[in-house]
Structure 1
Amino acid sequence: MARPGQDTRTRRGIHMTTTEHEMPVRNHLGLFMKQLVRKPGRIVALAPSSTGLAREMVRELGPETGSVIELGSGTGKITSHILARGIPQERLAMFELDDAFCALLSQEFPRAAVMQLSAERCDEAPLDDVGAVVSGLPLLSMPTKVQRRIVGGAFRKMRPGGIFVQFTYGYRPPIDRPVREELGLSWTVSPKVYRNIPPARVYTFRRAA
Protein backbone atom coordinates (compact mmCIF):
# COMPACT_ATOMS: atom_id res chain seq x y z
CA MET A 1 0.00 0.00 0.00
CA ALA A 2 1.40 3.38 -0.99
CA ARG A 3 1.99 5.98 1.69
CA PRO A 4 0.29 9.39 1.40
CA GLY A 5 2.10 11.47 -1.18
CA GLN A 6 4.13 8.53 -2.48
CA ASP A 7 4.42 8.16 -6.25
CA THR A 8 2.68 4.82 -6.85
CA ARG A 9 4.81 4.26 -9.94
CA THR A 10 7.43 2.88 -7.56
CA ARG A 11 5.12 -0.11 -7.08
CA ARG A 12 4.09 -0.76 -10.67
CA GLY A 13 6.48 -1.19 -13.57
CA ILE A 14 5.58 0.97 -16.56
CA HIS A 15 8.46 1.51 -18.96
CA MET A 16 12.22 1.29 -18.85
CA THR A 17 15.19 1.71 -21.15
CA THR A 18 18.02 -0.74 -21.67
CA THR A 19 20.46 1.53 -19.86
CA GLU A 20 18.26 1.72 -16.75
CA HIS A 21 18.35 -1.96 -15.91
CA GLU A 22 22.10 -2.13 -16.49
CA MET A 23 22.92 0.68 -14.07
CA PRO A 24 24.69 -0.67 -10.96
CA VAL A 25 23.28 0.26 -7.57
CA ARG A 26 25.48 2.57 -5.52
CA ASN A 27 27.31 1.36 -2.44
CA HIS A 28 24.98 1.81 0.53
CA LEU A 29 27.11 0.13 3.20
CA GLY A 30 26.61 3.10 5.53
CA LEU A 31 22.82 2.74 5.47
CA PHE A 32 23.08 -1.02 5.91
CA MET A 33 25.28 -0.68 9.00
CA LYS A 34 23.01 2.00 10.46
CA GLN A 35 19.95 -0.22 10.12
CA LEU A 36 21.89 -3.22 11.44
CA VAL A 37 22.65 -1.29 14.64
CA ARG A 38 19.08 0.02 14.92
CA LYS A 39 17.36 -3.30 14.21
CA PRO A 40 19.76 -6.16 15.00
CA GLY A 41 16.92 -8.63 15.45
CA ARG A 42 15.52 -8.03 11.98
CA ILE A 43 18.74 -7.64 9.97
CA VAL A 44 20.83 -10.74 10.59
CA ALA A 45 23.50 -10.46 7.87
CA LEU A 46 26.88 -9.11 8.94
CA ALA A 47 27.32 -7.21 5.67
CA PRO A 48 25.58 -6.80 2.32
CA SER A 49 26.04 -9.67 -0.11
CA SER A 50 29.33 -9.59 -2.00
CA THR A 51 29.51 -9.19 -5.77
CA GLY A 52 30.59 -12.82 -6.05
CA LEU A 53 27.59 -14.08 -4.10
CA ALA A 54 25.20 -11.80 -5.99
CA ARG A 55 26.47 -13.14 -9.32
CA GLU A 56 26.04 -16.73 -8.15
CA MET A 57 22.48 -15.98 -6.99
CA VAL A 58 21.43 -14.78 -10.45
CA ARG A 59 23.45 -17.23 -12.56
CA GLU A 60 20.38 -19.05 -13.92
CA LEU A 61 18.38 -15.90 -14.68
CA GLY A 62 17.96 -14.38 -18.13
CA PRO A 63 15.40 -12.63 -20.34
CA GLU A 64 13.61 -15.96 -20.79
CA THR A 65 13.02 -16.24 -17.03
CA GLY A 66 10.01 -13.95 -17.14
CA SER A 67 9.10 -12.07 -13.98
CA VAL A 68 11.21 -12.31 -10.82
CA ILE A 69 10.35 -11.86 -7.14
CA GLU A 70 13.10 -10.93 -4.70
CA LEU A 71 12.65 -11.55 -0.97
CA GLY A 72 14.61 -9.44 1.53
CA SER A 73 16.06 -7.00 -0.98
CA GLY A 74 17.94 -4.89 1.58
CA THR A 75 19.99 -2.17 -0.09
CA GLY A 76 19.56 -3.67 -3.57
CA LYS A 77 22.92 -5.36 -4.09
CA ILE A 78 21.43 -8.56 -5.51
CA THR A 79 18.64 -6.55 -7.16
CA SER A 80 21.08 -4.76 -9.44
CA HIS A 81 22.51 -8.10 -10.55
CA ILE A 82 19.02 -9.46 -11.28
CA LEU A 83 18.39 -6.52 -13.59
CA ALA A 84 21.80 -6.88 -15.20
CA ARG A 85 20.73 -10.36 -16.34
CA GLY A 86 18.14 -8.79 -18.62
CA ILE A 87 15.12 -8.69 -16.31
CA PRO A 88 13.24 -5.40 -16.87
CA GLN A 89 12.35 -3.39 -13.78
CA GLU A 90 8.69 -3.75 -14.72
CA ARG A 91 9.04 -7.55 -14.30
CA LEU A 92 10.51 -7.35 -10.79
CA ALA A 93 8.83 -7.24 -7.37
CA MET A 94 10.86 -6.75 -4.18
CA PHE A 95 9.61 -7.69 -0.70
CA GLU A 96 11.29 -5.78 2.11
CA LEU A 97 10.03 -4.77 5.58
CA ASP A 98 12.57 -2.11 6.59
CA ASP A 99 11.31 1.45 6.01
CA ALA A 100 14.69 2.92 5.09
CA PHE A 101 15.53 0.09 2.70
CA CYS A 102 12.12 0.39 1.00
CA ALA A 103 12.64 4.11 0.47
CA LEU A 104 16.07 3.44 -1.03
CA LEU A 105 14.78 0.67 -3.30
CA SER A 106 11.98 2.89 -4.59
CA GLN A 107 14.55 5.57 -5.42
CA GLU A 108 17.06 3.23 -7.05
CA PHE A 109 14.53 1.11 -8.98
CA PRO A 110 11.53 3.39 -9.59
CA ARG A 111 9.79 1.13 -12.11
CA ALA A 112 9.91 -2.04 -10.05
CA ALA A 113 7.28 -2.98 -7.46
CA VAL A 114 8.52 -2.36 -3.91
CA MET A 115 6.29 -4.29 -1.52
CA GLN A 116 6.63 -3.43 2.17
CA LEU A 117 5.04 -6.72 3.15
CA SER A 118 6.09 -9.97 4.77
CA ALA A 119 7.61 -12.51 2.40
CA GLU A 120 4.82 -14.82 3.55
CA ARG A 121 2.65 -12.78 1.17
CA CYS A 122 4.93 -13.13 -1.84
CA ASP A 123 2.11 -14.70 -3.84
CA GLU A 124 0.50 -11.23 -3.81
CA ALA A 125 3.21 -9.79 -6.06
CA PRO A 126 1.62 -7.79 -8.91
CA LEU A 127 3.28 -9.93 -11.58
CA ASP A 128 2.41 -12.74 -13.91
CA ASP A 129 4.62 -15.36 -15.58
CA VAL A 130 6.96 -15.55 -12.57
CA GLY A 131 9.92 -17.79 -13.34
CA ALA A 132 12.14 -17.25 -10.30
CA VAL A 133 12.11 -16.21 -6.66
CA VAL A 134 15.47 -15.00 -5.33
CA SER A 135 15.67 -15.00 -1.53
CA GLY A 136 18.07 -13.18 0.76
CA LEU A 137 16.08 -14.18 3.84
CA PRO A 138 17.55 -16.13 6.79
CA LEU A 139 15.14 -19.01 6.23
CA LEU A 140 16.84 -21.45 8.59
CA SER A 141 16.34 -19.06 11.50
CA MET A 142 12.58 -19.11 10.88
CA PRO A 143 10.07 -21.65 12.21
CA THR A 144 9.15 -24.44 9.83
CA LYS A 145 5.58 -23.12 9.54
CA VAL A 146 6.89 -19.73 8.37
CA GLN A 147 9.21 -21.39 5.86
CA ARG A 148 6.23 -23.38 4.59
CA ARG A 149 4.20 -20.23 3.98
CA ILE A 150 7.07 -18.42 2.24
CA VAL A 151 8.35 -21.24 0.05
CA GLY A 152 4.89 -22.68 -0.59
CA GLY A 153 3.61 -19.25 -1.61
CA ALA A 154 6.59 -18.78 -3.90
CA PHE A 155 5.95 -22.02 -5.78
CA ARG A 156 2.22 -21.32 -6.01
CA LYS A 157 3.03 -17.98 -7.63
CA MET A 158 5.62 -19.34 -10.05
CA ARG A 159 4.88 -21.01 -13.36
CA PRO A 160 5.81 -24.70 -13.73
CA GLY A 161 9.58 -25.11 -13.77
CA GLY A 162 10.20 -21.99 -11.69
CA ILE A 163 13.23 -21.84 -9.40
CA PHE A 164 13.64 -20.72 -5.79
CA VAL A 165 17.19 -19.45 -5.17
CA GLN A 166 18.46 -19.19 -1.59
CA PHE A 167 21.92 -18.72 -0.10
CA THR A 168 23.11 -20.14 3.19
CA TYR A 169 26.20 -19.91 5.37
CA GLY A 170 25.78 -23.49 6.61
CA TYR A 171 26.28 -26.98 5.22
CA ARG A 172 22.70 -28.21 4.97
CA PRO A 173 19.89 -27.18 2.64
CA PRO A 174 18.43 -23.84 3.77
CA ILE A 175 14.84 -25.13 3.79
CA ASP A 176 13.75 -27.55 6.52
CA ARG A 177 13.27 -31.19 5.50
CA PRO A 178 9.49 -31.30 6.17
CA VAL A 179 8.95 -28.36 3.80
CA ARG A 180 11.21 -29.86 1.14
CA GLU A 181 9.39 -33.18 1.32
CA GLU A 182 5.89 -31.67 1.35
CA LEU A 183 6.65 -29.59 -1.74
CA GLY A 184 8.63 -32.30 -3.52
CA LEU A 185 11.73 -30.15 -3.93
CA SER A 186 15.00 -31.10 -5.57
CA TRP A 187 18.04 -28.85 -5.61
CA THR A 188 21.49 -28.10 -6.87
CA VAL A 189 24.15 -26.35 -4.83
CA SER A 190 26.98 -24.04 -5.88
CA PRO A 191 30.59 -24.20 -4.77
CA LYS A 192 31.25 -22.14 -1.66
CA VAL A 193 31.62 -18.42 -2.38
CA TYR A 194 34.59 -17.49 -0.22
CA ARG A 195 34.57 -13.82 -1.15
CA ASN A 196 31.59 -13.11 1.05
CA ILE A 197 31.24 -12.33 4.77
CA PRO A 198 30.78 -15.06 5.86
CA PRO A 199 31.39 -17.49 2.97
CA ALA A 200 28.15 -18.88 1.55
CA ARG A 201 26.67 -21.42 -0.85
CA VAL A 202 23.72 -20.94 -3.19
CA TYR A 203 20.94 -23.52 -3.44
CA THR A 204 18.57 -23.61 -6.40
CA PHE A 205 15.33 -25.46 -5.64
CA ARG A 206 12.88 -26.89 -8.15
CA ARG A 207 9.56 -28.61 -7.69
CA ALA A 208 8.84 -31.98 -9.27
CA ALA A 209 6.48 -31.74 -12.23
Structure 2
Amino acid sequence: MAEVALFLREYARTRQDVGAIAPSSAWLCRALTRYMVPSPGRPRAVLEVGPGTGAVTRHITGSLGKLDTLDLIEANPRFSALLRETYGGDKRLRFRTGLVQEQELGVYDTIVCGLPFANFEARTTAEIFDRLLGSLRPGGTLSFFGYVGGATLRRTLTAGPEREHALAGQVALRGILRRHAFRSELVLGNLPPARVHHLAPAGAPRHAERGDSCACREESS
Protein backbone atom coordinates (compact mmCIF):
# COMPACT_ATOMS: atom_id res chain seq x y z
CA MET A 1 0.00 0.00 0.00
CA ALA A 2 2.93 2.34 0.67
CA GLU A 3 4.02 1.98 -2.97
CA VAL A 4 0.53 2.80 -4.25
CA ALA A 5 0.30 5.83 -1.96
CA LEU A 6 3.68 7.11 -3.17
CA PHE A 7 2.67 6.52 -6.79
CA LEU A 8 -0.54 8.49 -6.39
CA ARG A 9 1.23 11.34 -4.61
CA GLU A 10 3.83 11.62 -7.35
CA TYR A 11 1.19 11.42 -10.05
CA ALA A 12 -0.69 14.32 -8.47
CA ARG A 13 2.52 16.30 -8.02
CA THR A 14 4.28 15.67 -11.36
CA ARG A 15 1.79 14.00 -13.68
CA GLN A 16 3.65 15.31 -16.75
CA ASP A 17 6.62 13.12 -15.82
CA VAL A 18 4.86 10.18 -14.18
CA GLY A 19 2.25 9.73 -16.92
CA ALA A 20 0.71 6.54 -15.49
CA ILE A 21 -2.26 6.74 -13.15
CA ALA A 22 -1.67 3.34 -11.50
CA PRO A 23 1.14 0.76 -11.27
CA SER A 24 1.30 -1.71 -14.17
CA SER A 25 -0.83 -4.84 -13.83
CA ALA A 26 0.58 -8.36 -13.98
CA TRP A 27 -0.81 -8.73 -17.53
CA LEU A 28 0.92 -5.57 -18.68
CA CYS A 29 4.17 -6.68 -17.02
CA ARG A 30 4.00 -10.00 -18.86
CA ALA A 31 3.42 -8.30 -22.20
CA LEU A 32 6.28 -5.85 -21.67
CA THR A 33 8.70 -8.68 -20.91
CA ARG A 34 7.45 -11.06 -23.59
CA TYR A 35 10.77 -11.00 -25.48
CA MET A 36 13.02 -11.26 -22.44
CA VAL A 37 14.02 -14.79 -23.34
CA PRO A 38 16.90 -16.92 -21.98
CA SER A 39 20.27 -16.75 -23.73
CA PRO A 40 22.02 -20.10 -23.11
CA GLY A 41 25.75 -19.78 -22.70
CA ARG A 42 25.97 -16.10 -21.83
CA PRO A 43 24.44 -13.65 -19.35
CA ARG A 44 21.69 -11.29 -20.43
CA ALA A 45 21.83 -7.52 -20.02
CA VAL A 46 18.47 -5.83 -19.41
CA LEU A 47 17.60 -2.14 -19.12
CA GLU A 48 14.41 -0.76 -17.60
CA VAL A 49 13.74 2.93 -18.19
CA GLY A 50 11.16 4.62 -15.98
CA PRO A 51 10.53 1.74 -13.56
CA GLY A 52 8.47 3.93 -11.20
CA THR A 53 7.67 2.03 -8.02
CA GLY A 54 8.93 -1.25 -9.49
CA ALA A 55 5.86 -3.17 -10.71
CA VAL A 56 7.64 -4.32 -13.88
CA THR A 57 10.97 -4.54 -12.05
CA ARG A 58 9.57 -7.29 -9.81
CA HIS A 59 8.56 -9.24 -12.89
CA ILE A 60 11.99 -8.79 -14.51
CA THR A 61 14.02 -9.74 -11.45
CA GLY A 62 12.00 -12.92 -11.09
CA SER A 63 13.23 -13.96 -14.55
CA LEU A 64 16.89 -13.00 -14.18
CA GLY A 65 19.59 -15.63 -14.01
CA LYS A 66 22.47 -15.46 -11.54
CA LEU A 67 24.80 -13.82 -14.07
CA ASP A 68 22.23 -11.54 -15.72
CA THR A 69 22.21 -7.80 -15.04
CA LEU A 70 19.46 -5.19 -14.85
CA ASP A 71 20.10 -1.46 -15.16
CA LEU A 72 17.36 0.81 -13.78
CA ILE A 73 17.11 4.43 -14.87
CA GLU A 74 14.52 6.49 -13.00
CA ALA A 75 14.18 10.28 -13.23
CA ASN A 76 11.97 10.67 -10.15
CA PRO A 77 14.25 10.77 -7.06
CA ARG A 78 11.52 9.46 -4.74
CA PHE A 79 10.85 6.45 -6.96
CA SER A 80 14.60 5.93 -7.31
CA ALA A 81 15.04 5.90 -3.52
CA LEU A 82 12.25 3.33 -3.18
CA LEU A 83 13.89 1.10 -5.79
CA ARG A 84 17.24 1.27 -4.03
CA GLU A 85 15.59 0.45 -0.72
CA THR A 86 13.74 -2.51 -2.22
CA TYR A 87 16.45 -3.98 -4.46
CA GLY A 88 19.70 -2.57 -3.10
CA GLY A 89 20.78 -5.98 -1.84
CA ASP A 90 20.58 -7.57 -5.31
CA LYS A 91 24.04 -7.32 -6.90
CA ARG A 92 22.63 -7.95 -10.36
CA LEU A 93 20.91 -4.53 -10.33
CA ARG A 94 22.48 -1.14 -10.99
CA PHE A 95 20.65 2.08 -10.18
CA ARG A 96 20.79 5.49 -11.86
CA THR A 97 18.77 8.58 -11.09
CA GLY A 98 18.12 11.10 -13.86
CA LEU A 99 16.92 11.40 -17.44
CA VAL A 100 17.82 8.58 -19.79
CA GLN A 101 19.09 11.16 -22.28
CA GLU A 102 21.80 12.11 -19.77
CA GLN A 103 22.99 8.57 -19.01
CA GLU A 104 25.81 6.56 -20.51
CA LEU A 105 24.10 3.42 -21.72
CA GLY A 106 25.53 -0.04 -22.12
CA VAL A 107 24.60 -2.70 -24.67
CA TYR A 108 21.44 -4.65 -23.93
CA ASP A 109 19.55 -7.75 -24.98
CA THR A 110 16.21 -6.37 -23.77
CA ILE A 111 15.00 -2.86 -22.99
CA VAL A 112 11.67 -2.23 -21.25
CA CYS A 113 10.50 1.38 -21.20
CA GLY A 114 7.75 2.90 -19.07
CA LEU A 115 8.20 6.54 -20.08
CA PRO A 116 5.05 8.61 -20.85
CA PHE A 117 5.80 9.42 -24.49
CA ALA A 118 2.33 10.94 -24.94
CA ASN A 119 3.60 13.82 -22.76
CA PHE A 120 6.86 14.41 -24.65
CA GLU A 121 7.75 16.75 -27.49
CA ALA A 122 8.81 15.25 -30.82
CA ARG A 123 12.49 16.05 -30.33
CA THR A 124 12.60 14.36 -26.93
CA THR A 125 10.78 11.28 -28.22
CA ALA A 126 13.13 10.93 -31.20
CA GLU A 127 16.23 11.40 -29.04
CA ILE A 128 15.18 8.78 -26.52
CA PHE A 129 14.30 6.15 -29.13
CA ASP A 130 17.51 6.80 -31.07
CA ARG A 131 19.54 6.16 -27.90
CA LEU A 132 17.59 3.09 -26.81
CA LEU A 133 17.45 1.38 -30.21
CA GLY A 134 21.14 2.14 -30.69
CA SER A 135 21.91 0.35 -27.42
CA LEU A 136 20.44 -3.00 -28.47
CA ARG A 137 22.54 -6.01 -29.33
CA PRO A 138 21.74 -7.76 -32.64
CA GLY A 139 18.47 -9.57 -32.05
CA GLY A 140 17.60 -7.34 -29.09
CA THR A 141 14.17 -5.84 -28.47
CA LEU A 142 12.70 -2.67 -27.02
CA SER A 143 9.20 -2.81 -25.52
CA PHE A 144 7.10 0.12 -24.30
CA PHE A 145 3.43 0.94 -23.81
CA GLY A 146 0.87 3.69 -24.06
CA TYR A 147 -2.66 3.93 -22.74
CA VAL A 148 -5.52 3.29 -25.13
CA GLY A 149 -7.09 6.62 -26.02
CA GLY A 150 -4.33 8.57 -24.28
CA ALA A 151 -3.24 10.44 -27.39
CA THR A 152 -6.83 11.39 -28.26
CA LEU A 153 -7.46 12.59 -24.72
CA ARG A 154 -4.33 14.74 -24.74
CA ARG A 155 -5.34 16.36 -28.04
CA THR A 156 -8.79 17.06 -26.65
CA LEU A 157 -7.62 18.59 -23.37
CA THR A 158 -4.88 20.83 -24.75
CA ALA A 159 -4.92 23.96 -26.88
CA GLY A 160 -2.53 26.40 -28.53
CA PRO A 161 1.22 25.67 -28.44
CA GLU A 162 0.77 22.79 -25.99
CA ARG A 163 -1.59 21.07 -28.42
CA GLU A 164 0.83 21.64 -31.30
CA HIS A 165 3.64 20.07 -29.28
CA ALA A 166 1.41 17.10 -28.46
CA LEU A 167 0.45 16.58 -32.11
CA ALA A 168 4.07 16.79 -33.25
CA GLY A 169 5.10 14.27 -30.59
CA GLN A 170 2.42 11.84 -31.70
CA VAL A 171 3.49 12.16 -35.34
CA ALA A 172 7.09 11.42 -34.33
CA LEU A 173 5.99 8.37 -32.34
CA ARG A 174 3.93 7.00 -35.23
CA GLY A 175 6.95 7.34 -37.51
CA ILE A 176 9.12 5.40 -35.07
CA LEU A 177 6.51 2.64 -34.89
CA ARG A 178 6.31 2.39 -38.67
CA ARG A 179 10.07 1.93 -38.91
CA HIS A 180 10.73 -0.30 -35.94
CA ALA A 181 7.63 -2.07 -34.54
CA PHE A 182 7.34 -5.78 -35.31
CA ARG A 183 4.42 -6.50 -33.00
CA SER A 184 1.80 -4.58 -31.01
CA GLU A 185 -0.69 -6.03 -28.55
CA LEU A 186 -3.64 -4.74 -26.61
CA VAL A 187 -3.65 -5.46 -22.87
CA LEU A 188 -7.19 -5.24 -21.53
CA GLY A 189 -6.30 -6.31 -17.99
CA ASN A 190 -4.80 -2.99 -16.94
CA LEU A 191 -6.06 0.32 -15.55
CA PRO A 192 -6.56 1.83 -18.05
CA PRO A 193 -6.14 -0.67 -20.93
CA ALA A 194 -2.78 -0.31 -22.62
CA ARG A 195 -1.15 -1.04 -25.95
CA VAL A 196 2.33 -2.58 -25.85
CA HIS A 197 4.69 -2.12 -28.80
CA HIS A 198 7.74 -4.31 -29.45
CA LEU A 199 10.51 -2.70 -31.51
CA ALA A 200 13.80 -3.70 -33.06
CA PRO A 201 16.45 -1.71 -34.96
CA ALA A 202 15.59 -1.11 -38.61
CA GLY A 203 16.57 -4.03 -40.81
CA ALA A 204 16.61 -6.55 -37.95
CA PRO A 205 14.95 -9.93 -38.66
CA ARG A 206 11.41 -10.43 -37.40
CA HIS A 207 11.11 -12.21 -34.08
CA ALA A 208 9.29 -15.48 -33.69
CA GLU A 209 6.05 -15.12 -31.79
CA ARG A 210 5.88 -16.73 -28.36
CA GLY A 211 2.94 -18.85 -27.36
CA ASP A 212 2.53 -17.55 -23.80
CA SER A 213 -1.10 -17.09 -22.88
CA CYS A 214 -2.02 -13.69 -21.49
CA ALA A 215 -4.95 -11.33 -21.16
CA CYS A 216 -4.03 -9.44 -24.29
CA ARG A 217 -5.08 -9.29 -27.90
CA GLU A 218 -3.05 -8.48 -31.00
CA GLU A 219 -3.73 -5.16 -32.66
CA SER A 220 -1.49 -3.61 -35.28
CA SER A 221 -0.31 -0.07 -34.66
TM-score (norm 1): 0.75
2-structure distance, mates of 1:88, 1:59: 20
> 1:83–1:89: 8 Å Cα contact kept in structure 2?
no
Cross-structure match for 1:50: 25
Q: Does 1:197 align with 2:191?
A: yes
Q: Is the 8 A contact 2:143 2:198 kept in 1?
A: yes
- Separation in 1, partners of 2:96, 2:10: 18
Distance in 2 (alpha carbons) for counterparts of 1:40 and 1:186:
27
State the distance in 1 between where 2:2 and 2:196 align. 23
**Displacement after TM superposition at 1:37 (Å):** 2.2
Q: Give, in whole Å, the separation in 1 of the partners of 2:80 and 2:64.
A: 22
1:62·1:86 contact (CA, 8 Å) conserved in 2?
Answer: no
Quote how far apart the aligned CAs of 1:139 are. 1.4
How far apart are residue 158 of structure 1 and its match?
A: 1.4
Q: Distance in 1 between matches of 2:2 and 2:118?
A: 27
Give the length in aligned residue pairs: 178
Deviation per residue, 1:161-182 (Å, 9 max, x gap): 211101122379996234456x
1:123-160 per-residue CA deviation (whole Å, 9 max, x = no partner) reads x13x44x1111011111321221111111111221111
Report how far residue 87 of structure 1 moved. 4.8
Higher Rg = 2
The alpha-carbon distance between structure 1 residues 175 and 133, as it changes in their structure 2 partners (threshold 3 A), is: farther
Instruction: Give CA deviations for 1:13-69 in whole Å, capped at 9, x if unaligned.
Output: xxxxxxxxxxxxx87111111222222332221111111111111122133281111
Which amino acid is the alignment partner of residue 189 of structure 1?
S
Match of 1:62 among 34, 37, 45: 37
Letter in 1 for 2:26: T
Contact kept? 1:139, 1:175, Cα under 8 Å = no
Aligned partner of residue 37 in structure 1, secondary structure: helix
Q: Which runs of 5+ in 2 are unaligned?
A: 152-169, 205-221
TM-score with structure 2 length normalisation?
Answer: 0.71
| Corresponding residue of 1:91 | 69
Structure 1 residues 158 and 58, CA gap change in structure 2 (3 angstroms): same
Q: Which runs of 4+ in 1 moved over 4 A?
A: 87-90, 171-175
Per the alignment, do residues 105 and 174 of structure 1 end up closer, same or farther by CA in structure 2, a change over 3 Å counting? farther
The separation in 2 between residues aligned to 1:119 and 1:189, in whole angstroms, is: 24
Corresponding letter in the other structure for 2:198: T
| Equivalences for residues 128-167 of structure 1 within 5 A | 128=107, 130-167=108-145
Going from structure 1 to structure 2, the CA distance change for 1:135 and 1:87 (only over 3 Å counts) comes to farther
Offset, 1:88:
5.1
CA gap of 1:180–1:193, structure 2 versus 1, over 3 A, is closer
Q: Could you say which residue in structure 2 is the equivalent of 1:105? A: 83
Letter in 2 for 1:42: D
Deviates more, 1:165-174 or 1:58-67: 165-174
Q: What CA distance in whole angstroms lies between the structure 1 residues aligned with 2:123 and 2:142?
A: 17
